[in-house]
Amino acid sequence: MSLGTVAVVGGGVIGQSVAWRAATAGHRVSLVDPAPGSGASRVAGGMLAPLSEAWPGEEDLLDLGRAALAHWPRFAARLTAATGGDPGLRTEGTVLVGLDSADRAELDRLAEHLAGLGHAPEKLTGRQVRALEPGIGPEVRSGLLLAEDLSVDNRAVLAELAEAGRRAGVEAVAGRAVAVRGNRIRLADGSTVDADVVVLACGAWSAGLHPSLHAVRPVKGEVLRLRARPSALPPPQRTVRALVQGRPSYLVPRAGGGLVLGATQYEAGHDTEVTVAGVRDLLRDAERVLPGIAEYALVECAAGLRPGTPDNLPLIGWLEPGLVVATGHHRNGFLLAPITAEAVLALLDDRPPPAPVLAADPHRLALTREPLSGVSR
Contact (Cβ atoms closer than 8 angstroms) between residue 334 and residue 49: no
194: left (phi over 0), alpha (psi -120 to 50) or beta: beta
Which of these ranges, 35-43, 133-141, 195-203, 274-282, lies near a copy of itself under the rule CB under 8 A?
A: 274-282
Minimum Å distance from CB 329 to a copy of itself? 26
Residue from the set 112, 122, 295, 349 that interacts with a copy of itself by CB under 8 A: 295
For residues 314 and 307, give the distance between their C-alpha atoms in angstroms, rounded to a whole number. Answer: 9
Dmax (CA) for the chain in angstroms is: 62
Which of these ranges, 133-141, 194-202, 270-278, 305-313, lies near a copy of itself under the rule CB under 8 A?
A: 270-278
Residue 60 or 287 having the CB closest to a copy of itself: 287
Instruction: Restricting to residues 222-261, name those near a copy of itself by CB under 8 A.
Output: 226, 229
β-bridge pairing 5-9 and 122-125: unpaired
For residues 270 and 40, give the distance between their C-alpha atoms in angstroms, rounded to a whole number. Answer: 11
Binding of a copy of itself by 296 (CB under 8 A):
yes
Read off the amino acid at residue 357: V
HSE-CB of 170 using CA atoms within 13 angstroms = 29
Residue 122 or 271 having the CB closest to a copy of itself: 271
Residue from the set 115, 174, 294, 375 that interacts with a copy of itself by CB under 8 A: 294
Residue from the set 297, 346, 359, 367 that interacts with a copy of itself by CB under 8 A: 297
Using CB under 8 A as the criterion, what x/- string covers residues 158-197 for binding a copy of itself?
----------------------------------------
Phi and psi (nearest 5°) for 101?
Answer: -70, -30
Instruction: Restricting to residues 310-339, name those near a copy of itself by CB under 8 A.
Output: none
Contact (Cβ atoms closer than 8 angstroms) between residue 256 and residue 287: no
Which of these ranges, 173-181, 206-214, 273-281, 344-352, lies near a copy of itself under the rule CB under 8 A?
A: 273-281
- At residue 223, the 3 state secondary structure works out as strand
For residues 186 and 337, give the distance between their C-alpha atoms in angstroms, rounded to a whole number. Answer: 25
Q: Which residues in this chain contact a copy of itself in the complex, by CB under 8 A?
A: 226, 229, 273-280, 283-284, 287, 293-298, 301
